[in-house]
């Protein structure tokens, strides 16, 4: 997947690494892209074009495990009082890279809700049928 920026970083070993594990890696974004000091991207090594929609369960488990450990370190070592775990998956999600990735963003005292990255509007889409019934397993 040479066209994938994350696959390229992994194969070239050219990121600002936080962790490199068998199925998942973590790295810092470009300095101008970070949302807070310590903002980290956690991605599977194996390419996933649609994010959580097509990732293998074992890879997702490794990514989430790594994201949790990094979040804990943000609180313990960076003085964060919380973290935001952010993901956008699928072509209609507004994602910037077609490869599963989670942003682990530390939150610090004084950050305020106004800097929380989150969709800014509510969807006007109305599915056909009862949402709870449609989503229940």
Tell which residue, 36, 33, 58, 30, has the closest CA to residue 46.
58
Residues 6+ apart with CB under 8 A from 40: 18, 26, 27, 28, 29, 70, 74, 103, 104
User: How would you write the pLDDT of the chain (137 residues) with one tens digit per residue?
Assistant: 458 999 999 999 999 999 999 999 999 988 788 888 898 999 999 999 899 999 999 999 999 999 999 999 998 898 888 888 999 998 888 888 999 999 998 888 878 666 555 555 665 767 677 767 775 55
- Which ranges of 81-124 would DSSP assign to H, the alpha helix? none
Name the pTM for this structure. Answer: 0.84
Residue 1: other Cβ atoms inside 10 A: 15
The pLDDT, as a whole number, for residue 57 is 96
Question: What gap in Å lies between CA 52 and CA 18, rounded to an integer?
Answer: 22
Q: In what order do the strands lie in the sheet with 82-86?
A: 16-20, 24-28, 40-44, 102-107, 82-86
Three-state DSSP class for residue 52: helix
Angle at 64 between CA 55 and CA 40, to 5 degrees: 105
43 forms bridges with which residues in the sheet?
25
CATH of span 5-112: 3.30.428.10
């Amino acid at each position: 997947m040479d066209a994938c920026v994350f696959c390229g970083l992994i194969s070239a070993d050219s990121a600002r690494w936080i962790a490199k594990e068998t199925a998942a890696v973590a790295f810092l974004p470009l300095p101008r892209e970070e949302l807070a000091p310590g903002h980290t991207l956690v991605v599977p090594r194996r390419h996933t074009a649609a994010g959580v929609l097509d990732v293998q369960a074992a890879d997702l488990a490794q990514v989430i495990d790594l994201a949790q450990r990094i979040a804990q370190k943000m609180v313990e070592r960076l003085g964060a009082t919380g973290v935001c775990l952010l993901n956008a998956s699928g072509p209609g999600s507004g994602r910037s890279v077609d490869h599963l990735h989670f942003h682990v963003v530390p939150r610090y005292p004084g950050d305020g809700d106004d800097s929380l990255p989150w969709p800014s509007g509510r969807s006007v889409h109305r599915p056909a049928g009862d949402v709870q019934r449609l989503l229940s397993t």
